């Protein structure tokens, strides 16, 4: 499998001229790169892997007539502000990066993942509060012997995070200080639960206050470590009780109680603000977060709703947004795996649903599941045995394989920076699907485009009264970038 990609671009004639003092004044006056001849960068990935985030030149805006297949981009219609794109730094991901790569390999990978171009600029990630199935042991951050309790949280410790997770997330933050970190527990400590176990069960009523303080202790401790928490969910997948790894059922009434009477008031006192996101589960049950948002006590403390991909349809995000347009939307987990290993099938699915669909469905941030897994789909303890990371790290050599999950993220994350706004673009026209953004710093436009048809499509893109023409091969992805 080829993992080469274009790490740079050949400067345009206009860009080269603008480095000359002789024409600097003309550049400042807008002579070079006028709207009439404005260049458009195109970055292309083909599902046969012959091009992987490869730079193509040649397209320019002009007064030419639009093609019969025409996409319109309108920066005057503006939607949600973007936090970023990324993946979860699970225990497994952190352990591989920290302990199965040399210092040189680790530095190169993190720079590529979180750095500015030629890096792909991931700016959003998620940590687990305690163990998930992608941990080498099952643990919480306040474990005590069976039969004991710790309501004062005297045994609370983030020690299990010190050897792998903390070094990796701190290194990522050093590369990209704009990186936003959210966190989710897979289970409360066993002594708080009806099963007296990290496996299955729900929260004991007498433990609501302790669990809220447990989450706040995590936020405060991580803040002291230099890792601020941007957002928090009460529970990963609260309607699922896995049988072989940590999990916990929290129905809507329980979540509303926890948020409205316990966690919300505690976090409201913290600076900087930590968002509480409800749900953190699949698209197929929009009624669950709607029930929480209907609670008058909980609702003021809920900043938004987090979604996963494993059941239902992405349109659920828009359904909940339309019911509560003042609440934010985030997409926080989806994993690829050996059940869908083929680029021709799965890269278009990822783009249609997870990049284009989620952001057109109001997501401010988009996360895939494991940032990295090894050649055996681990390490893991229970749960998914054939999941795929954004990258695969060979546990013996440290060699990195960039999977199509990486390229799906990169077609957005490299070009859409934190603070960008989604803007209007026409989509789902004869196999061409799109989402567009305008960056807040240099005002550049990024149009992420999927040709889901097996046939090539020639189309035009119209912006501010002018058009450019491009032909996309079948089953391909392109990101077009220009500055008005």
Q: Is 278 helix (H, G, I), strand (E, B) or coil?
A: strand
Q: Which residue has the tokens 């869908």?
A: 340
Q: Which of the residues 333, 375, 399, 433 is marked catalytic?
A: 333
Between helices 165-175 and 91-99, what is the axis angle to 10°? Answer: 80
Q: Six-digit token pair at 324?
A: 């509560």
- Give the Cα separation of 334 and 425 in Å (integer): 25
Q: Which of the residues 56, 81, 225, 237 is marked catalytic?
A: 237
Residue 263: how many CA atoms within 13 Å on its side-chain side? Answer: 32
Tell me which residue of 94, 83, 82, 167 sits closest to 124, measured CA to CA.
83
- Per the annotation, the verdict on 345 as an active-site residue is no
> Residue 401: is it exposed, middle or buried by C-beta count within 10 angstroms (0-12/13-18/19+)?
middle
Measuring CA to CA, how many Å separate 397 from each of 57, 97, 404? 37, 12, 21
Please answer whether residues 379 and 390 qualify as being in contact, where contact means their C-beta atoms are separated by less than 8 angstroms. Answer: no
Report the DSSP beta bridge partners of residue 233.
277
- Give the Cα separation of 232 and 274 in Å (integer): 7
- Per the annotation, the verdict on 285 as an active-site residue is no
Q: DSSP letter at 339?
A: T
> Residue 269: is it exposed, middle or buried by C-beta count within 10 angstroms (0-12/13-18/19+)?
exposed
| Catalytic site positions | 237, 333
């Amino acid at each position: 499998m080829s993992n080469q990609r274009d790490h740079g671009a050949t400067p345009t004639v206009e860009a080269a001229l603008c480095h000359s003092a002789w024409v600097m004044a003309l550049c400042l006056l807008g002579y070079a790169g006028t709207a009439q001849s404005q260049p458009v960068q195109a970055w292309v990935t083909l599902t046969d892997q012959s091009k992987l985030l490869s730079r193509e030149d040649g397209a320019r805006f002009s007064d030419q007539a639009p093609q019969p297949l025409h996409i319109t981009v309108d920066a005057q219609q503006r939607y949600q502000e973007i936090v970023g794109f990324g993946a979860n730094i699970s225990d497994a991901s952190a352990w591989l990066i920290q302990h199965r790569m040399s210092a040189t390999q680790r530095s190169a990978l993190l720079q590529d993942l979180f750095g500015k171009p030629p890096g792909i600029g991931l700016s959003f990630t998620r940590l687990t509060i305690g163990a998930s199935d992608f941990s080498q042991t099952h643990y919480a951050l306040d474990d005590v012997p069976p039969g004991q309790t710790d309501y004062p949280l005297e045994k609370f410790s983030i020690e299990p995070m010190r050897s792998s997770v903390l070094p990796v997330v701190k290194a990522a933050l050093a590369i990209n200080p704009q990186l936003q970190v959210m966190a989710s527990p897979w289970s409360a400590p066993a002594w708080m639960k009806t099963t007296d176990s990290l496996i299955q069960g729900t929260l004991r009523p007498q433990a609501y206050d302790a669990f809220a303080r447990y989450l706040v202790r995590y936020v405060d401790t991580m803040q002291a470590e230099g890792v601020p928490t941007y957002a928090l969910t009460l529970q990963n997948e609260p309607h699922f009780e896995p049988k072989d790894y940590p999990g916990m059922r929290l129905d809507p009434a329980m979540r509303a109680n926890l948020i409205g009477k316990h966690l919300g008031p505690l976090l409201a006192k913290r600076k900087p603000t930590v968002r509480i996101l409800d749900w953190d589960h699949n698209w197929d049950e929009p009624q669950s977060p709607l029930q929480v948002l209907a609670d008058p006590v909980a609702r003021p403390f809920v900043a938004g709703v987090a979604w996963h991909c494993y059941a239902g349809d992405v349109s659920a995000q828009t359904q909940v947004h339309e019911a509560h347009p003042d609440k934010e939307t985030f997409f926080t987990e989806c994993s690829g795996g050996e059940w869908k290993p083929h680029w021709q099938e799965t890269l278009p699915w990822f783009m249609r649903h997870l990049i284009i669909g989620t952001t057109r469905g109001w997501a401010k941030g988009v996360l895939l599941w494991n940032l990295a897994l090894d050649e055996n789909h681990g390490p893991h303890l229970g749960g998914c045995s054939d999941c795929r990371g954004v990258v695969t790290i060979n546990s013996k050599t440290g060699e990195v394989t960039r999977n199509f999950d990486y390229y799906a993220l990169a077609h957005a994350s490299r070009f859409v920076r934190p603070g960008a706004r989604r803007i209007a673009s026409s989509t789902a026209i004869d196999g061409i699907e799109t989402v567009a953004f305008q960056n807040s710093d240099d005002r550049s436009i990024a149009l992420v485009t999927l040709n889901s048809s097996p046939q090539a499509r020639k189309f035009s893109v119209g912006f501010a009264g002018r058009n450019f023409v491009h032909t996309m091969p079948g089953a391909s992805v392109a990101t077009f970038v220009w500055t008005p």
